[in-house]
Structure 1
Amino acid sequence: MIIPICIQGDRSRSFEIKTNKPAFIREGALTFIRESKNKDIKIDIEITDNRFEQVRGLMFRTNLPEMGGMLFIMDREEPQSFWMKNTYISLDIIYVDSRFEIVTIQKYTQPLSEESIPSGKMAKYMVEVNAGFCDRFGIMEGDKIKFNRI
């Protein structure tokens, strides 16, 4: 988006401010290994493994690819909690422990909410996908994940 701005009093000068909405950047692939099903589900992922990226997460995004998500790699396995501040799309948040087992799924989160969305259990990884993803593909607690960077 380009926003023209005129400086009061000098109409001969104007400049543009470019605003960049974050775009999905494929940094790896993640597979949901479903214990109860024969077919695994693979998605493209962005990977956040530093504090700055983790704080920003999916804020200000207006969409996420249907088969895309964001993987958060935390420093420690401990109870985790997210919120939806400045996040415009509803998500399923999947909490995963250090053994790569899904321990909690918080479905259909409320966009822009500042309410805490806790793991309730120890988690080292979090995967954010579009709301309804877990229901559509039968992703459940007890399933596992594996991922790789590209």
Structure 2
Amino acid sequence: MVTRFCGAMLATLALVACNASAPSDAAAQRPAAEKPDLSPAGLDLVPLTIRSGTKSHQFTVEMARSPQEQAQGLMFRTELAPDAGMLFPFPTPKPASFWMKNTVISLDLLFIRADGRIESIAANAVPYSIAPLSSTGPVAAVLELAGGRAAELGIKPGDTVTWRDKR
């Protein structure tokens, strides 16, 4: 009986000792919100600049690269900081069309050509609307900002958008 008890005790201590190393492993697997280069949704955060005339506007945007990330977009989010946004880059320029289904907050959608110039802006998109918001031609990316932000900053078609992708 004592032998079984000692054996069980040793097994328990070995299990505890193995789990004692878990915190160092857990540090490598911290939630996205604790990693400075990832958004709470687990997307890469990159700096983005919009140049409008002599003014520059700085943003930190989430990169929605995969089809799944792009399909999710900013749906179900209840807020978006004034200097934040989401960028949807495309592998090759194409006509783009978005909708606001399941999107709680109003957004400005900036359609960006391959040369980095804003092609058009769909301002103050209506939350939950399924009406398509489309570019007028092929674009290389779409930037979503908080609704009304483009007008507030004087951003307009023809302005230049640049970002530094980490990939």
4+ residue stretches of structure 1 with deviation over 2 A? Answer: 22-26
**Residues 52-105 of structure 1: CA deviation (Å, up to 9, x unaligned):** 100000011000111100000112211110000100000000000111110010
The answer to which structure has the higher strand fraction is 1
User: Relative to 1, partners in 2 of residues 1:105 and 1:85: Cα closer, same or farther, differing over 3 Å?
Assistant: same
Give the match's secondary structure for 1:60: coil
Q: Partners of 2:158 and 2:133 in 1: how far apart?
A: 19
Instruction: Give 1:1-150 correspondences, 5 Å limit.
Output: 23=40, 27-34=45-52, 36=53, 38-149=54-165
Deviation at 1:121, TM superposition (A): 1.6
Give the match's secondary structure for 1:40: strand
The Cα RMSD (Å) is 1.5
Give the conservation status (yes or no) of the 8 Å contact 1:26–1:44.
no
The answer to which structure has the higher helix fraction is 2
Q: Partners of 2:55 and 2:126 in 1: how far apart?
A: 30
Give the match's secondary structure for 2:125: coil
Q: Partners of 2:77 and 2:122 in 1: how far apart?
A: 19
Give the conservation status (yes or no) of the 8 Å contact 1:94–1:127.
yes
Deviation at 1:109, TM superposition (A): 0.3
Q: Partners of 2:47 and 2:128 in 1: how far apart?
A: 27
Higher relative contact order (CA 8 A, sep 6+): 1
Question: Normalization by structure 1: what TM-score?
Answer: 0.80
Tell me the matched-pair count: 127
Structure 1: gaps of 5 or more residues: 1-21
